[in-house]
Structures are given as C-alpha cells and as structure tokens.
Amino acid sequence: MKHYGFAQSSSDHSLFTLQRERVQLHVLVYVDDLVISGNDNATIKAFKLYLDAFFHIKDLGMLKYFLVIEVARHYIGIFLCQRKYALDIISEVGLLGAKPAGFPMDQHHQLPLAKGTLLPDP
C-alpha cells in the first residue's frame, strides 16, 4: 500500500488514504477483505489492477455488508445499519417471536448536521 503512495492513518492503522491533486482514494483493510472508495472511478480501477498483479483478487462489486454492518444506498446518502446483526442476536437468545416494548424516543428523530470546523487528522 505504501509503495503505491498510500499513507496509513495514525488513528486507525487499517485505513490507508491516497491523495493526488483532486483524486482521493481510501482503502480499509480487515484481514483479507478490502473496502475501496474514492472520487475517481478510473483511479479505483487502476488500483484494483495493481493489486491483482500481486494477489489474486475477487471484486465483489458495490459494498453491501462489512463486519455485520449493512450498507444501503439512497439518493440522499449512504446509510449504515446493523439490523441483521440485531436479529441474529434476538434469534440466538430465542426472543424472535417476543412482543415489542415501547421506546422512550421519537422513532423518526432527525439528527442535525454538525456545524463548525473539522478537526485535524492526528
């Protein structure tokens, strides 16, 4: 990764970033899985070809699940959800048929966007 020009994040050693002029590429590594994202499809494709020259890789396409987190795309953004993980836990303890209880919070609460300056990456 570093040979290709990536910098390893000091706050998360599994995150690598590459910045060249207006192009950004981010790679998250977990054992033998990679999540690759960026703002330039040609750069992403070139990086995948570079990796394939050294390792036999299999492109699984757009990210759907990663570490029990479901990734859902919508026209207003990307949403992360652990619904399947929660259902697996409920099923494991035998409470899948239990009746739901009230929850003391508005179900459709909209969190405000943070305003202010971004914190620097240590």
Q: What is the pLDDT of residue 57?
A: 92
Q: What is the pLDDT of residue 122?
A: 72
The whole-model pTM stands at 0.69
Q: What is the pLDDT of residue 114?
A: 76
Q: In Å, what is the CA distance from 3 to each residue of 6, 47, 77, 79, 94?
A: 7, 12, 33, 33, 50
Counted residue by residue, the chain has a size of 122
> Does residue 122 belong to any structural domain of this protein?
no
Q: What is the pLDDT of residue 48?
A: 95
Sorted by sequence, the CB contacts under 8 Å of residue 18 that are 6+ apart come out as: 4, 5, 6, 7, 24, 25, 26, 27, 38, 47
| 6-27 pLDDT, tens digit each | 999 999 999 999 999 999 999 9
> Does residue 113 belong to any structural domain of this protein?
no
54/71 same-domain check? no
Residue bearing the bigger pLDDT, 54 or 111:
54
46/82 same-domain check? no
CB under 8 A, 24+ apart: contacts of 35-44 = 35/63, 35/66
| 60-106 pLDDT, tens digit each | 999 998 888 999 999 999 999 999 899 999 999 999 988 888 878 88
Structural domain harbouring 89 = 62-95
How many domains, in total, are found in the chain? 2
75/55 same-domain check? no
> Does residue 108 belong to any structural domain of this protein?
no
